[in-house]
Amino acid sequence: MNEAQWLPFMYLIILGLAVMIYAILDGYDLGVGILLPMGKQSELERDTMIASIGPFWDANETWLVLAVGVLLIAFPTAHSIIFKALYLPVALMLAGLILRGVAFDFRAKVLNTHKSTWDWLFKIGSIIASMSQGYMLGMYVMGFEQTVEALIFALLSAAGVAAAYAFIGGAWLVMKTEGSLQQQSAQWTRYSGWLAAGGIGLVSIVHPMINSRIFDKWFSLPEIFLLIPIPLVCYGLFFAADRYLTKMSELQGRICWLPFACACSIFFLCFQALAYSFFPYIVPDQLTIWEAASATESLKFLAYGIVFVVPTILIYTVFSYRVFWGKATQLQYY
């Protein structure tokens, strides 16, 4: 395999890694925002929930910046096609992320009488960002078709991704909180998990039906024996998390990390299934990674920066989670 073949593949792996880590890390903090309970009696719960993501949420979005940057520099043609097709949902996503950032800071600095307003805006921004990402995923799966069927599927995907983020966000709260909030989080995680499981089932059925190439990749022999266990394992993980959350009060919160580990594993398996379905296309059924890649000389030059940037992001991500590991405590500003 020569440089023109393996360099685009290397950048595809980095792009996929960035997208997958972003979906898991920013997914849970978006999910926490979606789950925020509103009402005066819930103010302390909201404070604890936001404190649980306080040290992490801003850094989590670094992976989104890395993914967009790699797509732009390594696959500029694909970047142009994808962002042209998804211009409006991308704009909405950015608006939601900006709204979240502003609300996060202002809620801690305004008078208590205005705090709930910024909590509402944080919640709304989380919902907008989550559903925008789900809509973009749906349109990507449908090959950016401008049809009624594609629109309906994208809207269902938007709801499904928001439910998946609420599922992993609730699992994060089960791991990071205690007492009544942990018990409430267990209920949120169960309910959103049912919706997320339904969304995964819908994609698993519709995706092969609308694309004969993907149908052949999944249901030909001997590949079917290696691939069919993926959705089965996913539903096994949903069941394991649900059973633990049902019995959690009896177990007194032991291994409270289990639902979050199950959620992360489900995200990982779903991402691998989608990656396998689309490979080697980076724009579904339009452009392969080799057709969309920058010149080999450009990819070689950019590799010097990638070799430094990616390990740096990984190291400070691991370090931040190591430092702030344990149960959430009150978020304070000085």
316-327, pLDDT tens digit by residue? 888 888 888 877
Q: 155, exposed or middle or buried, with CB in 10 Å at 0-12, 13-18, 19+?
A: middle
**Which residues are registered as beta bridge partners of 287?**
283
Cα distance between the two ends of the chain: 56
Distance CA 81, CA 69 (A): 15
205-236 burial, b for 16+ CB within 10 Å, e for fewer?
ebbbebbeebeebbeeeeeeeebeeebeebee
Q: In angstroms, what is the C-alpha Rg of the chain?
A: 20
3-state secondary structure of 284: coil
Chunk the chain into consecutive blocks of 10 residues (it has 334) and report each block's average pLDDT, rounded to whole numbers.
80 92 92 87 82 83 90 92 91 93 82 79 94 92 85 90 94 89 90 91 79 76 78 91 81 77 94 87 89 88 87 88 78 54
pLDDT value at residue 223: 72
Considering the entire predicted model, what is its pTM?
Answer: 0.92
Distance CA 17, CA 169 (A): 20
Segment 240-263, tens digit of pLDDT: 999 988 887 655 567 888 999 999
User: Residue length, the chain?
Assistant: 334
CB 160 within 8 A of CB 197: no
**Cα separations (Å) of 22 from 16, 30, 163?**
10, 11, 16
pLDDT value at residue 332: 58
Distance CA 38, CA 119 (A): 8
CB 64 within 8 A of CB 100: no
Q: How far is residue 325 CA from its own chain's centroid?
A: 21
